[in-house]
Structure 1
Amino acid sequence: MSENLKTIRELAEELGVSKQRIQQIIAKLSPSKTPNKDGNRYVLNSRDVKNIKEFMGFDKDKSSTSESTNKLVDYDVYLDVIDSIKEKDEQIKSLLEVQKQTQNLLDQQQRLALQDKKLLEEYKAEIKDLKSLNMPNQGSEKDIFIPKKNSVKKTQKKNKKWWQF
């Protein structure tokens, strides 16, 4: 390309950064400072290069050859990393809180299951006691059921209807 126009790749090589970083910076630039496209490629003129370098924090007074060797630290990258670390820390804290709540719920469930088991055992013991109270003693004469003749006659009379005659 000509001396005045550069591609993203050429600028990235000159500045010692990746093409993706240059594309990120172009996306962050205001619409008035966004470079023109030739087809689907950005064509960077000297003004676009200057805007990108200023955004990256390169010293404005130095020449382009000294800028590539003496660049300032790209604080945006560090800020992005710090922000992502803070975001991950918040996610970890929320996950730990959820884990703590889940553990509490599990403990409650286990306690309730143990209480249910104890109640079932108590109910079984009560039922067993009630059954033993209601069971007739074997061998006692009072508990043996002997039908009486009078009761049989009464049931026969009750069963007779008028149409049976």
Structure 2
Amino acid sequence: MSDSLKTIRELADELGVNKQNVQYHIKSLPNKERLKNEKGIILLTIDEQNFIRAKILKVSTDKVLADKISTDKVSTDKILTDKVSTDKALADKILTDKVSTDKILTDKVSTDKENNFLIEKIKIQEEQIRDLKEQRRNGKEQLDIKDSQIAQMQNLLDQQQRLALQDKKLLDEYKSEINDLKALKMPTQETEFKHLDNQYKDEVNALKEKLENLQEQIKVQKRIEEQEKQRKWWGLWRK
């Protein structure tokens, strides 16, 4: 048998199909007469093989293409379905995100208002604290000034008291001398000593009066300072 001739089985095996498939396409051959070998088995020429091969390959290609189209349609339908589901999920997510965003923005606005209120309140309290510190500092400075004035007046009073004691001592000495002179009975100098006695008495009285005035001024100054302290503490307590 020529190598160019093939049986139906051989061609079916070559094309990977069953024998009935090849036999079905043999009916479409232009010539109706078939070559046969000595055993009566049909032999197919090159042209017949090519014709059947083209038919089978076309059918296979068409089937593959149809299967692919069907598969592609199923995939496309699935993609479209998935896209619809995805679009719906995306739309739901966008809506949910918008609601969440609106809530976040609303909460942020509310929080910002509360923060601004707290910031303003803190600023006011800080300003009040600065004012209070300034008032206390001014009050302390004034108290320091008053204390310094009181110390100066106290020093002056001490000096006046020392001078008064010295004058009294001197006056006592003069009185003692006068008494001694009187004891000596010196009428000619009696008038003179009496004059001196009266002069020192006047000086002592003047010093006493000056001392009393100074003590009164100190008392008045202390009352004013006490009133000033009470007024400041009252003002601070009311704030």
TM-score relative to the length of structure 2: 0.30
- When Rg is computed on C-alpha atoms for both structures, the one with the higher figure is 2
TM-score relative to the length of structure 1: 0.41
Higher helix fraction (1 or 2): 2
